[in-house]
Structure 1
């Protein structure tokens, strides 16, 4: 047994090899476009085959460092990495622009990130635009018909998970037995924003998935479509969900996919039972004052 068999944290490149058909990964190549390998070195992107089907792969490389931006290491998504990932999505769309929806290539996201790289230089140069651009690219590709499957193999934390994962049609995650971590905001930050005591939030986190972190809680919230129990199952389960997403899109049931679909799934699983009620109340309150603003 390898000493790392019980975790996939930091092993994005290993995950690529476990998922795709052997020796089919063409790194930094999408359609007719080739990336400079020195650009965004912590993002491993390219074209591969999965059970004979052409796919685009976008992963974090936690073993790489970006010498130009010292805060980008260990799987962090930096400004260059976010732009590179976004460009990978757009080049995939461009390569398949004349194909029918049933032939749009799937985009597989391998997620293992502790966050973004918010260094001073990145903030000045436009880190928020880079990560926002990546989110937009995935949303556009999803709506254009490309099945997008995110597979969390390690860490899915904070703003990096927002741009690298949450716009997918389906999100999958390795079991917590592999040390998989999912949370958008730690309890300390929730406490700072809500002014609630950490002790109270910690108590809530044992029973309320909204305040909790982890694969099982995100599953109940609908944030994770399926939990993968072993790494040997990743390949088959990702391929299965690609086929499911193709079928759902062919049936025109787009509301069952992406962020909206996860909201509905969370309600079905009992993790987000007041979401639609709250949205309905907000819509009703807005309608009573809408004319004051829309027709002003």
Structure 2
């Protein structure tokens, strides 16, 4: 789904979203609330320029519109793999974006992310996964790494990874598997405007992804391990 069609369904009361070099920004009306909209389109890779543009838009919202909700529209093929971006320290730019979203949440902004097309690797981690809650459309493509690339990196045969992906959502792409792992709160299929209103009302700054992954059977060890680490740390301080 292109972002213009998506915006019409999300914001039947109107929006002022503009696209500049695959970067989306603006505002829209959701019920009786105005929300800031920030995102990307055309499967754009996240390079230093677009990471800074998104970070700037978040900071402007925090400065000029205290506690205004923020909607992040996600469509990216991940971080841009260019020598220039690596030499400039793309990891620092993406970390800066993540910190800006964290600042917005800490400042009382409800932050919702929606994967409406592609969400891959670092471009997704520092945007959609930094929100209070991340949602996805049914046809969205979500993965950290494709299985052929994973096979090359891990030296595990691709056939073995394909077999593992049938039962283990960690290895499998797709929004349903990210719902099982707790990374995606739910899949929106129906009235998108109503889904957004509900998501904003339910937004919780408490990170419950590990708990959701355990409840849904997709990540069985994340919560117990993190709790053990915290308990061991408390015991050490005592």
Does the aligned pair in 1 maintain the 2:17–2:24 contact within 8 Å? no
TM score, norm. by length of structure 1? 0.73
Gaps of 5+ in 1: 1-7, 29-36, 63-73, 98-103, 249-253, 292-296
Which 4+ stretches in 1 moved above 6 angstroms? 284-288
Q: How does 1:10-21 map to 2 (within 5 A)?
A: 11-21=2-12
Instruction: Sort the Cα spacing of 1:107 and 1:287 in 2 relative to 1 into closer, same or farther, 3 A.
Output: closer
1:87 maps to which residue? 56
Superposed CA deviations along residues 15-70 of structure 1, whole A, max 9, x for unmatched, are 22321244431548xxxxxxxx6xxx2211112222231110012131xxxxxxxx
Give the number of equivalent residue pairs: 237
Which one of 202, 208, 233 corresponds to residue 261 of structure 1? 208
Q: Following the alignment from structure 1 to structure 2, what is the Cα–Cα distance between the partners of residues 287 and 195?
A: 38
1:184 maps to which residue? 144
1:220 maps to which residue? 180
Paired residue secondary structure (2:128): coil
- State yes or no: 1:198 paired with 2:189: no
Instruction: Sort the Cα spacing of 1:53 and 1:161 in 2 relative to 1 into closer, same or farther, 3 A.
Output: same
Does the aligned pair in 2 maintain the 1:27–1:47 contact within 8 Å? no
1:236 maps to which residue? 194
Q: Following the alignment from structure 1 to structure 2, what is the Cα–Cα distance between the partners of residues 114 and 224?
A: 18
TM score, norm. by length of structure 2? 0.89
Does the aligned pair in 1 maintain the 2:41–2:74 contact within 8 Å? no
- State yes or no: 1:170 paired with 2:128: no
- State yes or no: 1:146 paired with 2:109: yes
- State yes or no: 1:132 paired with 2:90: no
RMSD: 2.3
1:56 maps to which residue? 36
Paired residue secondary structure (1:25): strand
Does the aligned pair in 1 maintain the 2:7–2:15 contact within 8 Å? no
- State yes or no: 1:209 paired with 2:169: yes
Which one of 109, 124, 131 corresponds to residue 161 of structure 1? 124
Paired residue secondary structure (2:39): strand
Instruction: Sort the Cα spacing of 1:84 and 1:282 in 2 relative to 1 into closer, same or farther, 3 A.
Output: same
Does the aligned pair in 2 maintain the 1:13–1:44 contact within 8 Å? no
Does the aligned pair in 2 maintain the 1:174–1:227 contact within 8 Å? yes
2:25 maps to which residue? 45
Paired residue secondary structure (1:196): coil
Instruction: Sort the Cα spacing of 1:47 and 1:280 in 2 relative to 1 into closer, same or farther, 3 A.
Output: closer
